[in-house]
Structure 1
Amino acid sequence: MSDEDTGGRLSPDDAFAALSNEHRVRILRELGDAGSPLAFSELYDRLPVDDTARFNYHLGELRGHFVRKTADGYALDHPGQRVVEAIRSGAVTHDPEIERTTVDDRCPTCESPLEIQWLDGSVEVFCSVCESRWDRSHGRVGGPGEVESGYLGRLPFPPAGLRDRTPSEVLRAAHAWTNLELLAVGSGICPRCAAAVETELDACPDHDADGVCSTCRSRFAVLLYAACPNCPYQVGGAAALGLLSSPELLAFTLDHGIDPFSPESVLRLDRLLSEYDEEVLSRDPLRAVLTFSAGGDTLSLRVDETGDVVDGPTRPSS
């Protein structure tokens, strides 16, 4: 295969056809593990192929798109790197199951021990005492799926993240990973394909603030929805999650010693982003005020239907 005949691009059918042989996938993995270009003979010695002609054929099917010939040997081209990254993350090859397990960390609402399970590409978080924040998980395959009592939400997390971590470390790492995704979403960037993400906020028209509302199926009156028009990525949740990239909220969290991307403080951030006050000012156009509290200080932000902060901070106090 060579992209010289395709103008530097391959159709999806051709690209996946090139990866349909185990020897070719092994070539990509070996080049990824090597970390530097390998000579033809070095690469050949690493594969269980019985003759050089056969090996050269498979290598040729990858050259020009997934593999590039350099002055020092063969190296992964960028598409080949992405394939190896997907393999090593376990996202396309592994589907582990971790049954509901108690962790050392405490519920941000009631201080009871938290519990986690890994299911359908996410770490799901529960409190054994609190009422649920949501009555269903939208991230499950075929979802939204019904959830057990105490469901607090899900955190997208690749299978490789489970390796060599305790359950508590998994929870904290999953929070940090998810916050990085939310930072991208809040900046209008798809964390999967980098296309422009479309976001909107919606306010429940008849919200019941006593527990999980039967109308919006959430404890939050104002909800965030984000979707990528280019790939299947979509996310939803409390409106506050879409503000993680706002300078006002970032400054507020950092001023109170909460680093959104440090596993050491992500649970404090979860408390801040889940235990806040919300006030719907109008529905058409949507305007709402979200008020966050930390260390005796408060920050109120007025947001519009796209999730953007408008008119600057509102009613800050200490």
Structure 2
Amino acid sequence: MKKLLLLLLIANFAFAQPGIEIRLVNANIGTANYSWNGFNYISMNSSNDAGLNAIFSTYNVTEGYENNEVHPYPPYFAKIKIIRGTYPAQMIADLQAYSTVVASAKITNNYEFSDALRMQLVDLNIGSPVGTSGNIIVTNDAGLNTIFLDFNVFYYVQSYPSSSVNSTLRYYTAVCDCDKNLLNTALLNYSSVVERTEIVNGGVMLSNPQFEKTKALISPNPFSDNFNIETEQTITNYTIVDITGKTIISTSSKSELDNQTSQLSNGMYILTLDFENGQKANYKLVKK
């Protein structure tokens, strides 16, 4: 049974909504419970672990406890969860104290990973990884090495290695043992090597035999005006819906899509691509 990266649209979701990111010790202990209402998967605000549920009950978790599984660092895959809403600092302390189940607990926004960034290099040949030193990534640029050492960057790979486009090949994904917002500031200040940075979002993996794996690369994302779509498949239609499920754009023309996306308000959207072979794929888009 194949897996689909299904980005859940929930009616009360607000852009830039705060939450707590939890990384589990074991992906199978503390995972989120969902129910199917005939249209969508709905968070049941609970996990499969009684101790974690007791903490949720203490702090009245009602806005959603959700899987946020697709972390770029493979050992973290399926271990990241999100508690949506605002809670006191003591809740984070209680979660961290439950160390047999919770490896870490941090404040985050929406489905943004607290420890990951995507960055685009100015030059493909400057800033590429060459090895590690004490588990910290070493590149061929001394300035970038200093930043990586300061922020404990332990994972750094090309985001789209199969691309044949220079601008896309210059994207790298970095994961740190740090606050990614501080790392982001340091990278943006190093503008001679780093052209831009992007947040990295997750999603929910649900079993569904009707869907194939992702067929396209979308970049940049978040985007300002337009974005590129790289795929080996022929796209027959582009549809964009907002977070309420309202269709904003539906067109068979990429140039028309570009025209209309440049006029979109800042926020989060879902792009659905229809392919010539009859299949579809969904992607979360963020316009900034």
TM-score (normalised: structure 2) = 0.22
Larger Rg: 1
Structure richer in helix, relative to its length: 1
